[in-house]
Amino acid sequence: MGLKKAFLRLATIGLGIGLMTSAALAANLRVLAWDGYADADWVKDFTAATGIGVDVVFIGSDDEIWAKIKGSEGQDFDVFAVNTAQLQRYIKADLVSPIDVTKLANQKEVLPRFRDLTAVSGVTKDGKVYGIPFCFDSIGLIYDTDKVKPAPTSMSVLWDPAYKGKVLAYDNGEHNFSFTALTLGYKDPFNLNEQQMAAVKAKLVELKRNVLSFYTTADEAQQIYQNNDVALIWANYGQQQVKALQKIGAHVAYVNPSEGALAWLDNWVISKGVRDNAAAEKWIDFMLSKKVGGELSERTGFGNTVTETGSAGGNDTLVWLNNVEDPLKRSDMWNEVKATP
Amino acid sequence: MSEAGSTQHAERRLSLLVTVLAFALPVVFVLVPLAIFLGYSFFSVDQGTIVYGLSLGNYVRFLTDPVFLPVFWNTIVLCVSVAIICILLAYPAAYFLTTLKGRWRYALLMLLLVPLLMSYVIKIYAIRSILGLNGFLNKALVALGILQEPSTLFVFNMNAILLTLTLLLIPFAILPIFLSLERIPQVLLRASDDLGASGLQTFLRITLPLSLPGVASAASFVFVLAIGDFLTPQMVGGISGFTFGRILYSQFGTAYNWPFGAALSVALAVVVIAAILVGERFGRNRGTSV
């Protein structure tokens, strides 16, 4: 009997503690982010500065973010990070709330290209701002400074017969069609008509004949670079890839092509189910501080929107990645390019 | 009495359970997934979502589109070549093993099989470094004066796939050939010798015919493993080494065209099953005539 009583008491205490912690959690800001976007020391600083507790959940893929946010209709999180290509889908599904930019003091201090948000494709809709740019990287060109002279300025160098068999390209139809469209001077590389598609395909067949191989991971490209005579790499992994190559002693440099470099851009957004809008705004503003931005680039190698980094110079043209007209068609046509003898 | 009865009862129940499991496992883990796969090959994709309506569209596309059949055919030719080269290299090796005595024979066999313990991907990476322009093979050929300068003949093309697959799959050819050679009764060889046949005659008229079942199963092993591989072509095939496995693989990534991928897999499965049947039939016929 005594045992049973003790057991009951223990259960009551346990329940009490459980309720207390869930009450404490209820006041916390709930953040969903990629690894590297909400490091523990920043969270600590944020809590110290604002008195707002934070619970961070990390995600590993775009699909996972969608599953988590859509699954709870936005009720499970206050703030989360998505890229520009994905954001429109969330706006359409009514899962995010518009953001009052005047509440974000640090947004006035960001790099010029991110100051006017209506000029950043994908973050606004009907005049309302839904995403605050935070982190980005361009997909530029890595070149071997000993072999490629003068320094290239355009992706068209990949077609230069002087580098036949010394070019590493990336094995992905979607991106290859987009960047080739930019090289051909098409305005919207993500929405190509039949004629443009055919022209891009012909151009890619030409590219293929100048290429040594197609790679998929950054490691793979590095290994091929080490064992072969490689002069140019289409750098899907941007700054991370350059730095890794420089680390092993390669004489390489990075350039964003003059016709515009494809680039991904991650944004902070406020979910529809936000409990405390002011706290969410404070989080975003904190993330836009020079300190966090600088540390983010230092730790991850990505560009941030507040301080200058190697990802893009002030005059570089960046073309934010967007959904393409027909991914299936691009993938099929990419196979046709690869199958062309 | 009752205790013995219940043990008997329990035993019977156990054996029933084992029987059910023995049938259930292959059904659940092999037949059902294959059936689902077959089912998927009749669906289609519209705007990134799978449409669950039955159609033969995927098969029609496979047979009529100018891209797929040539690649499919080239891949089959490639894998038959791999099988032939593997056999030509593995046969002498296996034959040599059977001439060894006692423990040496098995120690050496184990050594030849050791590469199977290593990760497949790591082996491909290693071979790719060896074949590269600054790789071991080129350096050696240049040092020996066979080549004037490093050649790109060995990497990122069909040759590279052929070489890599052969290297990777040779153990699978050695083993069955070795086993069939080892099973040949020594008395037959001695009788042939007694009757005045030369070594070559004995080999051609006794050893070789009796080892053909092993050769047949080795060939079908290697062919099946080679044709199902997409990783090796993907990593060493470069721009000209485009194989069926790579097309298949691409249907499941960014393309998200599972139904078409399933239809291509069915086409591949037909060839694989045919290869296994041929290998097995050929092997068994010769085997029973001993």
* Test the B interface: residue of A158, A335, A340 with most B CBs within 10 Å: A335
Return d(Cα A235, Cα A256) in angstroms, integer. Answer: 10
* Residue B4, pLDDT score: 60
Structure tokens at B220: 């079908």
Measured in angstroms, the CA of A203 and the nearest CA of chain B are apart by 15
Q: How far is B45 from chain A (nearest CA, A)?
A: 9
B212 falls within a domain: yes
Domain of residue B133 covers 61-288
Mean of pLDDT values over A217-237: 93
* Count of alpha carbons within 13 angstroms of residue A247, beta-carbon side: 8
Domain that holds residue A221: 141-255
Q: Does the distance separating the beta carbons of A227 and B246 come in below 8 Å?
A: no
A190, part of any domain: yes
- pLDDT, one tens digit per residue, over B140-168 is 999 999 888 888 888 899 999 999 999 99
Are A197 and A105 members of one domain?
A: no
Give the model's confidence band at A192: pLDDT under 50 very low, under 70 low, under 90 confident, else very high.
Answer: very high
Q: Quick check: A24 pLDDT over 70?
A: no
> Do A83 and A161 belong together in one domain?
no
**pLDDT bracket for residue A19 (50, 70, 90):** very low
CB distance B67–A336 less than 8 Å?
A: yes
A192 vs A240, residue with greater confidence: A192
Distance separating alpha carbons of residues A131 and A152, to the nearest angstrom: 34
Q: Does A48 touch chain B (CB under 8 A)?
A: no
> A227 vs B255: CB contact, 8 Å cut-off?
no
What residues of chain B lie within 8 A of the CB of A327, using their CB? 48, 254-256
Which is more confidently placed, A18 or A170? Answer: A170
Q: Give the three-class secondary structure for A138.
A: strand
In angstroms, rounded to a whole number, what is the distance separating the alpha carbons of residues A82 and A72?
A: 17
In a domain, A319, yes or no: no
Q: Is the minimum CB–CB distance between B250 and chain A shorter than 8 Å?
A: yes
Tell me the C-alpha distance between A32 and A80, whole Å: 5
Say if residue A8's pLDDT is above 70: no
pLDDT in tens, B65-118: 999 999 999 999 999 999 999 999 999 999 999 999 888 999 999 999 999 999
**CATH code for position A236:** 3.40.190.10
Burial letters for B171-203: b for 16+ Cβ neighbours within 10 Å, e otherwise?
bbbbbbbbbbbeebeeeebeebeeeebeeeebb
The last residue of one of the domains, among A231, A255, A279, is: A255
Q: Are residues A88 and A178 in the same domain?
A: no
Based on the domain organization, do A244 and A286 belong to the same domain?
no
Banded model confidence at residue A313, pLDDT cuts 50, 70, 90: confident
Please indicate if any CB of chain A lies within 8 Å of the CB of B191. no
Name beta bridge partners: A30. Answer: A55
Q: Would B22 be classed as within a structural domain?
A: no
Number of domains in chain B: 1
Question: Hey, is the C-beta of B128 within 8 angstroms of any chain A C-beta?
Answer: yes
What CATH number is given to the structural domain containing B72? 1.10.3720.10
Q: Which member of B132, B152, B247 has the closest CB to residue A335?
A: B247
A316 occurs within a structural domain: no
| Tens-place pLDDT, residues B198-221 | 999 999 999 999 999 999 999 999
Residue B241 DSSP one-character state: -
The band of A20, judged by pLDDT with boundaries at 50, 70 and 90, is very low
Work out the mean pLDDT of chain B and round it to a whole number.
90
Is position A46 within any domain?
A: yes
A99 and A128 inside one domain: yes
Same-domain pairing of A129 and A269: yes
Q: Do A165 and B152 touch (CB under 8 A)?
A: yes
Cβ-based contacts of B256 with chain A (< 8 Å)? 327-328
Q: Is A108's Cβ below 8 Å from some Cβ in B?
A: no
**Is residue A197 included in any domain, yes or no?**
yes
Do A213 and A101 share a structural domain? no
Q: What beta strand segments (E) does chain B contain?
A: 44-46, 49-51
Work out how many domains chain A is built from and give that number.
2
pTM exceeding the 0.80 threshold for the entire prediction: yes
Q: Please report whether residue B282 resides in a domain.
A: yes
Q: How many CB atoms lie under 10 A from the CB of residue A141?
A: 24
